[in-house]
Amino acid sequence: MTAIARIGGRGSFPPALLAVAAIPSLLVVLPVAYALLRSSEAGFAGIVSELTRPMTIHLLSNTMTLAVAVTTLTVLIGVAAAWCTERCDIPWPGLWRVIVSAPLAVPAFVSSYAWASLGPAYQGMGGAVMILTLSCTPLIYLPVAAALRGIDPSFEDVARSLGRGRWRTFLEVVVPQAAPAIMGGALLVSSHMLAEFGALSFLQVETFTTAIFQQYEVQFDNAAAALLSSVLMAICVPIALAEMRIRKGRRFSRSGKGVARNPDLARLGGFRWPAVALFGLFGTLAIGVPFATLFYWLTHGTSAGYGLERVAPALVGSISYSLSGGLLTTLLAVPLVLASMRMRGWLVSMAERLPYAIHGLPGLVIALSLVYFAIRYAPPFYQSPALVLVAYVMLFLPLAQSSIRASAELVPPELEDVARTLGKSPLVAFVEVTLPNLLPGVGAGLALVVLQLMRELTATLLLAPSGVVTLATEFWSYTNDRAYAAAAPFAAALVIVSGVPVYIFTLRTLRRG
């Protein structure tokens, strides 16, 4: 098989876009090369010593404990909440859908700041597991709730007619059909836990990510940080590859529209009001406490009102960098997705999959690799806006890929073939025929990437040019100095900016078909 070949009957692919599609693959190599090059400088004896020292074992234990505990709890809570709101007769289901989804609008480091500022009792591993579980539950709830809406209840009717009870029907019929959504969400939560930095810094929990940052601050770009990055990469890559495999196996269309009928709602009986109380408790802990704490710090504290003049420049910085990064990421994702659909060969397949392979890596590792190569091989790019945008592309390209591919799957490639028969060049046919049909996916991908970039912290913190500030970096700066009241306006602005798209996305995802 040739390295690259066009798939017959799959439309044209402009040669000019093929070179653009290769750019993300070249970028993905950088963090891997950085970790290997810097780790090798320690020598074999140094590597063994670093990997076997008690501190490394402690970091590994903390990292895995956090990932396993939070993933397990979010799956249990998210699946139970989805089942109650979509398949049970719980009162006010619309209200609970919004409440369980709302923590998505509050960045994890903002929630952790709110809880940590209440006192040391909420810090440590126990507090981290609780707070991050509350913050990440929507990542399980939303896809599972959407999956439950798409499952044909006739399968459950057949199981019940064969004498299976509700619980057995749920475990043997519903769970297998919702498994891709559950597993995909679980892998996403796991990768978030491995990459989390800001929240864990507030909560005084040491993991690989926090240790890498500390090593970087103590000894700029040292081999120890690279070694820890290598261990973290070894953990992250299998998770990212598993997530990519699940995404690839998902169906994007089906022959019928919606389900055959609305399912019969299960009666909760005596558990009806206890379930309502649990939803209320979740809302209080996940939304009520952070919002109440933010309101308190906005109006109290010795540093209240300090630094307000910096909110506007930080907001401008956040919007300008997130929009620029979102546009660049989306523009690079379009040719990559089309190449994977219309070309075949191992080069195209690898180009599509490589961005997913580093999707689980923290922004800190990506930033360190870019700092290393910029200082040594491209000094003019060090501390330039271009380097920040490159990091954004490396971190969030898969988010744009997934959204664009969902739209591209619905566009018949033969439309371009017809345009070619009318004398259009491949590029003109693409721009006039295919691109307009991709706009819904492009818009969704752009919105999702921009939302994530508004809250991105570590890569921006390390790579942003001097004098450039964002809401996230200013928030981090003030909280680092324990000026909680001064940090509150930046946190509030982050929540407001994130809340609108999250609310729209939630309504769109959970709208009944």
Average pLDDT over residues 9-18: 56
Q: Which residue has the higher pLDDT, 179 or 491?
A: 491
Average pLDDT over residues 282-296: 93
Q: Tokens standing for 313? A: 């420049």
164 pLDDT above the threshold of 90: no
The per-residue pLDDT for 16 is 61
Model confidence at 403, pLDDT cuts 50, 70, 90, reads confident
Model confidence at 404, pLDDT cuts 50, 70, 90, reads confident
Model confidence at 251, pLDDT cuts 50, 70, 90, reads very low
The per-residue pLDDT for 259 is 45
Q: Which residue has the higher pLDDT, 39 or 97?
A: 97
Say what percent of the chain tops pLDDT 90.
21
Specify burial of residue 422 (Cβ count, 10 A radius: 0-12, 13-18, 19+).
exposed
Whether residue 503 contacts residue 511, with contact meaning beta carbons closer than 8 Å, is answered with no
Across 262-271, 320-329, 338-347, which has the greatest mean pLDDT?
Answer: 320-329
Model confidence at 248, pLDDT cuts 50, 70, 90, reads low
Average pLDDT taken over every residue of the chain: 79
Specify burial of residue 430 (Cβ count, 10 A radius: 0-12, 13-18, 19+).
buried
**Domains, in order of start, for the chain:** 5-245+279-509 (1.10.3720.10)
* 173-219 residue pLDDT tens: 777 777 777 887 888 888 888 888 889 988 989 998 888 888 777 66
The per-residue pLDDT for 468 is 87
The per-residue pLDDT for 30 is 85
Residue with tokens 């933010």: 294
The per-residue pLDDT for 8 is 46
The per-residue pLDDT for 27 is 81
Model confidence at 387, pLDDT cuts 50, 70, 90, reads very high
* 415-433 residue pLDDT tens: 666 666 766 666 666 666 6
- Comparing CA positions, the residue from 92, 408, 70 lying closest to residue 207 is 70
- Distances in Å between the Cα of 503 and the Cα atoms of 91, 103, 347, 444, 510 are 21, 11, 39, 14, 11
The per-residue pLDDT for 479 is 86
The per-residue pLDDT for 7 is 47
Model confidence at 504, pLDDT cuts 50, 70, 90, reads low
SS (H, E, C) 288-339: HHHHHHHHHHHHCCCCCCCCHHHHHHHHHHHHHHHHHHHHHHHHHHHHHHHH
Q: Is the pTM of this model over 0.75?
A: yes
Model confidence at 257, pLDDT cuts 50, 70, 90, reads very low
Question: Which neighbouring-strand residues pair with 338?
Answer: none
* 129-149 residue pLDDT tens: 999 999 999 888 988 887 787
Angstrom distance (rounded) from CA 193 to CA 71: 8
